[in-house]
């Protein structure tokens, strides 16, 4: 278990570093693209490559008929993907590490739950009474007397939480821009993705990169909503002033809301709002590169599992060629009817190289099955040696052919 966790964290770290390089290349493109990339880096911590590799193993061809000849999975790539090859941590140390990990995860979850309870209480105390006439929103609005910033709260039943004196603090143009910002969070499902990364932080609290990814997610989601507000035609200066006014509320607020307009990196955001041009769509070349990278991230582990399983099957076939075999007795009924066919049998090779537990996996006709079972029982193999001792090998297969022209035809 320890080796698997270490390998998963290592793979996720490499993936996140690769995402960081791509984000660097896209620093002048739309923030929503960078946010999507950081979200992929976060989700990777929840999806081990071993699951995709297992899928590849399931898709690998079994030893029925001809098996494709392929190159072995490069050992250097396997070592890079899984630097820890076996369990090397003693049992007591493993138990201690698990206790520390669970304690850290519990603390992170408790702190998140504490903030969620305080925020829920704030929403419950807020009034649904309609506020200023200028406030219009596609979401339910609740008004709080607490010194809070306008924010989107919740993702199952989201509400727009507003301070009761919002109209006194913001001009109509600023208020419209702030509401547009929060509605952008709603359309993007930012509270849901934020909760998803919160789970990642709880599980991998010990990894500094996870917390760094969280900061990048918050930064890029706010910039993405800023860009959406400007693209919608809101005045840049009015919106920049609104961000500053809301930032004062954020400083005074007893609770940091999940998706508020105040956000982080105010200086950079305001400079971007005032000076940057509207972000266009990604060019075809960048789209192709991003799609190719996404396909490679999924297909790579699947292909690795497929190659590993197939190479293992080939090695097993090469190792378990029978050293003693007898031609099957051709059933008289099949011979009289001129019938040819095959039977795929599976059995266990014992420590002395004989076969037992023979069973039929597949056959072209029931007429050949008993003869195939008798022939398989007479097969003898070179025993498999592990650590100097002969061991039993279950699941060995042999395809016995019945061809009228040749009585001695084994594959």
pLDDT in tens, 288-338: 877 777 787 777 777 766 666 665 555 555 556 788 888 889 998 988 888
Tell me if 369 is assigned to some domain: yes
Give φ, ψ of 401 to 5 degrees: -100, 145
Question: What proportion of the chain, given as a percentage, has pLDDT over 90?
Answer: 30
69 by Cβ neighbours in 10 Å (0-12 / 13-18 / 19+) ranks as exposed
Tell me if 148 is assigned to some domain: no
Name the average pLDDT for the chain: 80
Tell me if 6 is assigned to some domain: no
pLDDT surpassing 60 at residue 110: yes
SS3 68: coil
Using the structure block, give the residue that is written with the tokens 């821009």: 177
* 238 within 8 A of 174, measured Cβ to Cβ: yes
The closest alpha carbon to 28, from 334, 279, 378, belongs to 279
Tell me if 370 is assigned to some domain: yes
d(CA 234, CA 265): 21
d(CA 285, CA 288): 5
pLDDT tens digit string along 243-290? 888 777 665 454 555 565 555 567 777 887 887 655 556 677 777 877
* Residue of higher predicted confidence among 83 and 94: 94
Tell me if 68 is assigned to some domain: no
Tell me if 194 is assigned to some domain: no
pLDDT surpassing 70 at residue 406: no
Most confident of 44-53, 210-219, 302-311, 327-336: 210-219
pLDDT of residue 94: 78
d(CA 284, CA 282): 7
Tell me if 16 is assigned to some domain: no
* Residue of higher predicted confidence among 170 and 254: 170
pLDDT surpassing 70 at residue 236: yes
Q: What is the domain extent for residue 341? A: 332-402
The two three-digit tokens of residue 259, written as one number: 């998706």
Edge-to-edge strand list for the sheet holding 159-163 = 141-144, 159-163, 151-153, 259-260
* CATH code of residue 376: 3.30.1150.10
Report CA-CA distances (Å) from 350 to 314, 347, 378, 381, 393.
20, 9, 13, 9, 7
Tell me if 324 is assigned to some domain: no
pLDDT tens digit string along 222-231? 999 999 999 8
Structural domain count, the chain = 1
């Amino acid at each position: 278990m320890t080796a698997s966790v270490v390998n998963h964290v290592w793979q996720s770290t490499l993936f996140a570093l690769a995402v960081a390089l791509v984000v660097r290349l896209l620093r002048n493109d739309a923030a929503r693209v960078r946010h999507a990339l950081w979200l992929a880096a976060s989700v990777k911590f929840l999806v081990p490559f071993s699951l995709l590799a297992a899928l590849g193993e399931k898709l690998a061809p079994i030893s029925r008929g001809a098996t494709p000849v392929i190159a072995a999975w490069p050992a250097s790539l396997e070592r890079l993907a899984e630097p820890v090859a076996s369990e090397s941590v003693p049992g007591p140390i493993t138990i201690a590490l698990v206790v520390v990990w669970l304690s850290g995860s519990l603390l992170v979850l408790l702190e998140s739950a504490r903030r969620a309870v305080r925020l829920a209480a704030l929403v419950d105390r807020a009034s649904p009474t309609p506020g200023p006439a200028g406030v219009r929103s596609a979401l339910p609005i609740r008004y709080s007397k607490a010194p809070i910033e306008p924010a989107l709260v919740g993702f199952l039943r989201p509400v727009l939480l507003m301070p009761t004196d919002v109209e006194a603090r913001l001009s109509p143009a600023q208020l419209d821009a702030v509401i547009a910002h929060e509605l952008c969070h709603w359309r993007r499902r930012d509270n849901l993705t934020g909760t998803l990364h919160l789970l990642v932080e709880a599980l991998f609290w010990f990894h500094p990169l996870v917390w760094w990814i969280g900061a990048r997610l918050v930064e890029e989601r706010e910039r993405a909503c800023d860009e959406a507000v400007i693209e919608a035609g809101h005045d840049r200066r009015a919106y920049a002033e609104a961000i500053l006014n809301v930032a004062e509320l954020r400083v005074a607020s007893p609770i940091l809301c999940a998706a508020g307009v105040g956000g982080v990196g105010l200086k950079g955001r305001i400079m971007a709002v005032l000076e940057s041009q509207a972000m266009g769509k990604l060019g075809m070349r960048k789209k192709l590169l991003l799609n190719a990278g996404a396909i490679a991230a999924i297909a790579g582990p699947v292909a690795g599992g497929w190659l590993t399983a197939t190479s293992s099957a080939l090695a097993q076939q090469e190792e378990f060629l029978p050293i003693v075999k007898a031609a099957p007795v051709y059933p008289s009924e099949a011979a009289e009817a001129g019938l040819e066919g095959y039977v795929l049998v599976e059995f266990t090779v014992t420590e002395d190289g004989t076969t037992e537990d023979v069973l039929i996996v597949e056959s072209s006709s029931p007429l050949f099955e008993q003869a195939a079972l008798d022939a398989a029982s007479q097969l003898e193999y070179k025993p498999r040696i592990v650590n100097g001792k002969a061991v039993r090998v279950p699941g060995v297969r042999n395809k016995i052919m019945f061809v009228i022209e040749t009585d001695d035809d084994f594959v």
